[in-house]
Each structure stands twice: as C-alpha cells, then as structure tokens.
A = this chain, B = another copy of it.
Amino acid sequence: MVQTTMQHGDLLISGLVEYSRRVFPEAKVITWTGEGTREASFADIGDQGAQIANALTKLGVARGDRVATFMWNNTEHQALYAGVPSMGAVLHTLNLRLSPEQAVFIINHADDKVIFVDASVAPMLSQYLTGTPNVKHVVVANGPVESLTAPEGVTVHAYDDLIAGEPTTYDWPKLDETDAAVMCYTSGTTGDPKGVVYSHRSIYLHSLLGTSTSGMGLSNHDTMLAIVPMFHVMSWGLPYAAMMAGATLVMPDRFLQPEPLLAMMAETRPTLAAAVPTIWQGVSALLDAKPQDITHLREVVVGGAAVPPSMITKFDGYGVKIVHAWGMTETSPLGTISRPPAGVEDEDAAFAYRVTQGRFPAPVAARIVGDDGQEQPWDGEARGELEVSGPWITGSYYQPDGNVADPSKFDDGWLRTGDVATITPDGYMTIVDRAKDIIKTGGEWISSVELENVIASNPAVVEATVIGVPDAKWDERPFVLAVVRDEADADVEAHRKFLEDRIPRWQIPERWSFVTEVPKTSVGKFDKKRVRQHYADGDYTVLGEPDA
C-alpha cells in the first residue's frame, strides 16, 4: 500500500484571515453610513478579529462556545466573522427578522453566551433578553450602549471599548477542519427552527467555489455589493470568499432600500452584487423612475427565490446580466448557478438556460427521486424530489445532545431539499414546486407554481394561489383561491375557459374561491399552510363543480 506524501493542510478560517490580511492590502471592506462610506482594509479586519478574540478570551469564551451576532452587514460584523471561528468559538448569526418567540427559542437552543448587537436593533434584542438566562454579555456596536436594556446578570459592553487596547494578533489554535465554525437556524414554516452548523472545512471549500468560474468567480479585481444579509446563510458565503479572492466588499449596513442601494452603487461602482429578487424588484422600479447607469455590474447573482423571467429581461435592458442561483441554509448555500453552456451563442437559446436554476458545481452531487423512491432520469421531463450531497451540504440538524438526521429530511445520507425538480441531460436543474405543494392527481403531478402563473396571466386576476385538496376519485385536485379585479370576474367558467388553450384539460381546476386577499407569510409569500387550514375548516365558499 502506498501512503500519500501530501500534507493534510487543515482548511481553517484562521488561514483565510491571515491570508487576506497579508496578501491583499489593496482589498477593502466598505460600509455605507447613510451618507457615504467608511473603509477598512483586510489588514484592519484581521487586526480587529484578533482584538475580538483576545477580548472574548478575557470574558471566558472558550473553544466551542457560541458567540451570537444580531447585526447588519458592516465592518464590525466582518471582523466577528474573522475572529470568532478562528479562535475556535462558534459564530451564531441571529436573523433580525425572527419573531420574538423564535429568537428566544434559538438563543436558548444554541446556548449563546455572548451577543454582539448593532445599536439600531438593540431595542429589539432587549425584548428577548428576559427570556434568555444564559446570555452573560452583550456588546453594542455602532451606537450608544444605552440603546440596549438588559436584565440583571447581563454585562453590557461598548464594542469599541471592549476591543480597545487588545493586541492585534492572536495565536490561532490548530483546529480540526471539521470543527464547528458558524451556525445558522432555518426559519422553516413548520415546527421549531432547525440549527445548521457549518464547519471550517465546509466554509473553506464553499469559499473556493466562490472564487471559481463554477461559482461566483470572485477575484481580486471585483467589488462585491453584498446585499444578502450576513445573518442569512452567511451572506451566501461572500465574507469568506472575498477574503480568499482579495475582493472588495461593499456592505449596505441597514440601508437596504432602493434609494441608498443605488446611491452606494453610484459611489462604489461594484462589479458584482448579490440579493434576493424582491430587492431587485425595488431597485428596478426606482431605476425606471430615475435612470442610472449600472453597467459597472458584470453580473448580479439572484437567489433565495425563483427569478421571474421578466426580471432577467428587465436587467438585460439595463445592460446587466442576472445570474440565477439556487440554494438553501442547508446547502451553505450554493447548490446551482445558471450560466448558459459553452457553444450556446443564440440569445433565445441562452435565455432558456438562464431561467433555470442552473448547473451543480462538482462538489454538489444531485439526484431526483420519485414518489416510489426510484431515481429519475435527467431528461428535462421527469420530476422528483431533489436530493443533494457533498462537503457543504448538511447531513443532520443540530441538537445539544447529539445531531439528528430525521428520515423525513435525509435519505441515506442525502439531504431531501423538499423541492420537486427536473434536470436536463446537460445538468440544468429547474425547481418545479415545493414537494409539499405539488398536486398529485390520478397518478400525475401538477406544479402549483406553474398553475398559479397561468391563472395569474389572466388580466382579470390580481393574484391567485393553488393548493391540492382531497378528491375521492383522483386522490387530489387543485383548489384555486383568487383575487379578481371586478366582481364580474368572479366567474369560474370564464376562468376555466381562459385555461383551456393554455394547459392540458385534466389540469384545469374545478374548485375555485374568490376572496379579497390571499393569506401571506411575513416575507410576502403565499401562506399555503393557512390556506390549507382554512379550506379544511370550510372557511371558503367553494365554487364550481367537480366534473370528473
């Protein structure tokens, strides 16, 4: 047997921090102040990261302890990304948009000892602290400590005072690359939030992808506007990928509205930007009202929700390429990214690729699995639940007494994404629907999303959602809950007629109800869970007559 002569070379975040600090003095972290910018070099970030590690060591934070952040994207948050995992502690990024119950649950579940908070959101955190007895220290950044009201037993620090005078170096421990580095809870719509714990290894590999042509392609020559929050799947890995690439980061802090976003673009001229579709919808509306050249952007990476094809066209009009990506908290997040393959020059042909969720990078293995548990072919037609595996894909959820791989979420080591997808013979994946939303009727599947889109393309419809409801003969049939323009449009037969030329006959829904508003979640998505419950409770008047 031959043994490798290669060094192991543990893949550690401290390696990234020291690397960026030493090799890229020209790269910066630029934070928006509301009126302009403030800048830090990666050397400054490394200094501050070491100061944080020294200060936390004094506070008694040891290897494996959880240090939470309740912060926007800014310099101080970047320094915490650098220092906390490098010292062997676990950075826990708290979502600023949690309900108070969720926040308290998560802080206690993760057993956070210290929380760093931006003064602007400190009043929110103050409300939670009475319910989180294990939190011993809160550190307030970017504003007065008085923004926070803390119960007895919690020591409150000012960020600047805490790190002042601390050494700007730290003898980073030689961790194992599979040690926990960062944790993040999914805000699922059902059950308690679930903890995902990224390792140094998973983050390092994901950062390599960030600099890869199969990923973001981030380089030393890029300036990345990281709009996606650092509390949301590590801002899609950008804080670490930028360290590896030596790319400049532009951090919007709390200024996530279209006006400041366009102002910071004008000032910093980013080459790349990353955010969810709703952000770009707002930016687009403002651009139309008040044109501004944004062609300094060579690509805009959009994920977190499906990108409407019209948005891609819209941005083509601004001279900017939208790149569609797919991922989830459980996938670090980069799962797929959509750029047309080599050899496709024709714009229409390219567009057909660009609207898909895209191709998997090499480290992400994928398969689609049918209802019968059988793997489905990559023919662009066959549908199945998307399952993925790889070194930055979660294999369980965090529990203090041992992580758990619930079979409803994991299948023989693969993550069940809960998405139903097709994959083309050349590896382009399209999400058809959420698995729980797909309508299974007479052995065939109807995508609720596709059906909603066709129904909503009727000018008489303001908005519409579709759920599957029990049917004695077909197992399930679609039920439509729609808002129409005029009272006269509340006409089931007219709607069915509209659909006749547009979808197969057997897909046309019989059951309709017209309401003044479709229930929505806190982030503005159709709340199908509530629609299902209302339907089951008989809260809707069901119009139309099942004809089958």
Contact = CB atoms under 8 A, between A and B. Distances in A.
A27 interface: yes
A65 to B, nearest CB: 9
Contacts of A8: 178, 391
A513 B2 CA distance: 49
Given A3-B180, A213-B218, A393-B9, A24 B398 contact: no
Interface in A363-421: 363, 365, 378, 389-398, 402-403, 413, 415
Interface in A178-232: 178-181, 183, 195-199, 201-202, 205, 207-209, 211-214, 217-221
A282 to B, nearest CB: 30
Contact of A23 (B9, B180, B397, B427): B427
Contacts of A245: 213-214
Could you say how many copies of this chain the assembly holds? 2
A342 B221 contact: yes
A213 B219 contact: yes
Contact of A6 (B9, B198, B212): B198
A526 interface: no
A64 B1 CA distance: 5
A310 interface: no
User: Max chain B CB contacts within 10 Å: which of A22, A178, A180, A213?
Assistant: A213
A443 interface: no
A341 interface: yes
Contact of A389 (B9, B180, B196): B9
Interface in A328-343: 332, 339, 341-343
In terms of DSSP, what is the predominant structure of the interface of chain A? loop
Contact of A4 (B202, B211, B426): B202
A217 to B, nearest CB: 6
Nearest to A20: B362
B427 A22 contact: yes
Interface in A314-346: 332, 339, 341-343
A36 interface: no
A254 to B, nearest CB: 28
A244 B214 contact: yes
User: Max chain B CB contacts within 10 Å: which of A183, A212, A217, A391?
Assistant: A212
Interface string A1-27: 111111111110001100100111111
A478 interface: no
A363 B413 CA distance: 28
B246 A342 contact: yes
Contact of A19 (B90, B202, B219, B362): B362
Contact of A90 (B2, B378, B403): B2
Interface residues of A, number: 81
B6 A391 contact: yes
Nearest to A404: B5
A425 interface: yes
Nearest to A414: B7
A23 B208 contact: no
Given A213-B220, A219-B214, A220-B341, A365 B15 contact: yes
A6 B202 CA distance: 7
Nearest to A66: B2
Given A3-B398, A221-B342, 6 more contacts: A6-B198, A6-B332, A7-B394, A27-B342, A213-B220, A246-B342
Interface of A: 1-11, 15-16, 19, 22-27, 64, 66, 90, 178-181, 183, 195-199, 201-202, 205, 207-209, 211-214, 217-221, 243-246, 248, 332, 339, 341-343, 359-360, 362-363, 365, 378, 389-398, 402-403, 413, 415, 425-427
27 contacts: A1-B180, A2-B180, A2-B183, A2-B197, A4-B197, A5-B196, A5-B398, A5-B403, A6-B394, A6-B395, A7-B391, A7-B393, A7-B415, A10-B391, A15-B363, A22-B378, A23-B427, A24-B427, A26-B341, A26-B343, A205-B208, A208-B212, A212-B213, A213-B219, A213-B220, A213-B245, A248-B342
Instruction: List the 10 closest A-B pairs by CB distance, nearest first.
Output: A9-B391, A213-B219, A23-B427, A4-B199, A7-B395, A1-B64, A6-B202, A2-B180, A211-B212, A9-B390
